[in-house]
Amino acid sequence: MADNDTSKLSAALEDYLEAILNLSAERGVARSRGIADTLGVARSSVTRALRSLADRGLVNYEPYGIVTLTDDGLRIAETVARRHEIIQSFFVNVLGVEKDIAQKGACEAAHALGPAIIDRLMGFIEFVNDSHKNGDDLVGRFRQFCKNRPAAKDKTPSKATRRKATKTLAHAKPGQKVRLTSINAGQKLRSRLAALGLVPNVEITVVSTGRPGPFMINVKGSKIALGKPMVDKIIVE
Amino acid sequence: MADNDTSKLSAALEDYLEAILNLSAERGVARSRGIADTLGVARSSVTRALRSLADRGLVNYEPYGIVTLTDDGLRIAETVARRHEIIQSFFVNVLGVEKDIAQKGACEAAHALGPAIIDRLMGFIEFVNDSHKNGDDLVGRFRQFCKNRPAAKDKTPSKATRRKATKTLAHAKPGQKVRLTSINAGQKLRSRLAALGLVPNVEITVVSTGRPGPFMINVKGSKIALGKPMVDKIIVE
DNA sequence: TTGAAAAGTTAGCCGAGACTAACTATATTA
DNA sequence: TAATATAGTTAGTCTCGGCTAACTTTTCAA
Ligand SMILES: [Mn+2]
Ligand SMILES: [Mn+2]
Ligand SMILES: [Mn+2]
Ligand SMILES: [Mn+2]
């Protein structure tokens, strides 16, 4: 009988429920083979998932039988399917994303976004539709807006890039002067380097960056050759 | 040295990179302990993740050392962080979702949404801001719109619910007449039930639904008692 | 009715990613 | 400088969710 459904379901198991719901609607019945095909997994994986779902009281299942959702299972399946639909609708109908891509992204995102966000998102879609009825073609304006500006690239630097990233000696160019911040290594290596003058706050002048040849630096008048692994461990500013 | 980064990174490893980027920016340096605290995992989990990332050439790491991102790692970390920021910004600044919830959802969704969707989403945020400058307070209008309608619930039935779900005998109420569609069981059980008159298309009248007592049905004049497991296997319409 | 073909299950393997407990290296401080 | 506290690693375990190969059950058609 229906077991406890304390812990939240994994994305994978939610997908099984969603697949069962869809198959039931489309073909009238959900069988193991159909689920495997829908999700692109091996038939044996389905068997195991069904046992797991049955243990949680979410499907009626027994070996060689067809699969139906219990009331609990139906509730979850509908919630997931609905989230998927809403997110996908936003991607396609508002953002104008290509259907296949939207489908894939929405199916995954559906497991990550809870009621608070989904409700708002649905409200927003309604708002957009409502605006349209009132003569304001928001989506059309957005499309137009997109045309009039150089398509932003996913790689465009943003706040993230503006944050200073830790620089190692490897990032320095020949001729550049840098100050040693710290050495990313154990004390034995650190003391070995200290003997060469490589201590915190010392000024380093990069002589050559070692392609080809060794990475050469100048520290207080003496030239030092460093190996690549070493170069990555020396933090500078 | 930098290994091949053929296969796409898992969400978990992307989170490690993101955490390292953030720690480097906030504290100047990323150490194992800080990563563990940020992500809420055990220190030993961090050790393993760092080894894995180092193998892929995404971080400079060696035991007991501090951690820095390689150029490849930095690129990925920034991409993930930026997706996170854009999605979160949409949730908070457009949809008006509470910060903590938006943060959590965005961090997860960031791994699921690729450039095609993210680019559009960022464009949309810009569009909204742009509209605002031109005197159209879209967000304000949306907030107003939300107030003027009964808050939609995540459980509201939608297309998903409108699809007919498979009904079992368990869903029937006392006195109800239903037609048997199929029996979710192997042939031996099916023939046993067939002997009782339970064959496809036969009409079943529900007598009592068995709380307490057995589930009783009337088939062609004869009363039959069914156990709960059986009731779940009989598909009707 | 019987013998494939198809559907489904079992058994065993694997990698990812978490955990705890115990150990080791490093840092701190008296 | 030695003792202790903290940080980090190692070893071993677990669950999840894939997979293949081999077997069994059910279906279907001759
Ligand atoms: Mn889906
Ligand atoms: Mn999904
Ligand atoms: Mn994030
Ligand atoms: Mn994340």
Residues of A in contact with B64 (CB under 8 A): 186
Domain that holds residue A71: 1-149
A/B interface, count of CB pairs below 8 Å: 229
The answer to whether position A1 is within a domain reads: yes
- Average pLDDT, consecutive stretches of 10 residues, N- to C-terminus, chain A (237 residues): 64 98 92 97 98 97 93 96 97 97 98 97 94 86 84 60 68 88 74 82 86 82 84 83
Do the Cβ atoms of B138 and A138 come within 8 Å?
yes
Q: pLDDT tens for residues B146-190?
A: 888 776 666 655 554 555 566 778 888 888 888 887 777 766 777
- Structural domain total, chain A: 2
The count of C-alpha atoms lying within 13 angstroms of the C-alpha of B26, restricted to the half-sphere facing its C-beta, is 11
**A119 and A172 together in one domain:** no
Q: pLDDT tens for residues B86-109?
A: 999 999 999 999 999 999 999 999
Distance B110 CA to ligand 2 centre (A): 15
Closest CA to A86 of A57, A44, A64, A115: A115
CA A12, C1' D16: Å apart?
10
**B209 and B142 together in one domain:** no
**B142 and B230 together in one domain:** no
The CATH number that applies at residue B212 is: 2.30.30.90
The CATH number that applies at residue B25 is: 1.10.10.10
**A175 and A123 together in one domain:** no
Residue B24 near chain A (CB below 8 Å): yes
Q: List CB contacts of B181: < 8 A, sequence separation 6 or more.
A: B200, B235, B236, B237
The count of C-alpha atoms lying within 13 angstroms of the C-alpha of A43, restricted to the half-sphere facing its C-beta, is 6
Q: List CB contacts of A4: < 8 A, sequence separation 6 or more.
A: A56
Average pLDDT over residues B117-142: 91
B1 touches B11 (CB < 8 A): no
**A50 and A123 together in one domain:** yes
**Of A82, A105, A112, which is closest to B114 when you measure between CB atoms?**
A105
Q: Which residues on neighbouring strands pair with residue A180, listed in sequence order?
A: A236
**A138 and A222 together in one domain:** no
Q: List CB contacts of B76: < 8 A, sequence separation 6 or more.
A: B9, B14, B17, B58
**A36 and A107 together in one domain:** yes
Among B100, B119, B149, the domain-final residue is B149
Helices (H) then strands (E): counts for chain B: 10, 8
> What is the sign, positive or negative, of the torsion defined by CA atoms of B154, B155, B156, B160?
positive
**A13 and A70 together in one domain:** yes
**A89 and A186 together in one domain:** no
**Amino acid at residue number A210:** G
CA A47, C1' C18: Å apart?
25
Report the 3 state secondary structure along A111-171. Answer: CCCCHHHHHHHHHHHHHHHHHHHCCCCHHHHHHHHHHCCCCCCCCCCCHHHHCCCCEEHHH
Q: What is the pTM of this model?
A: 0.86
Among B149, B183, B203, the domain-final residue is B149
Classify burial at A4, counting beta carbons within 10 Å of its beta carbon; exposed 0-12, middle 13-18, buried 19 or more. exposed
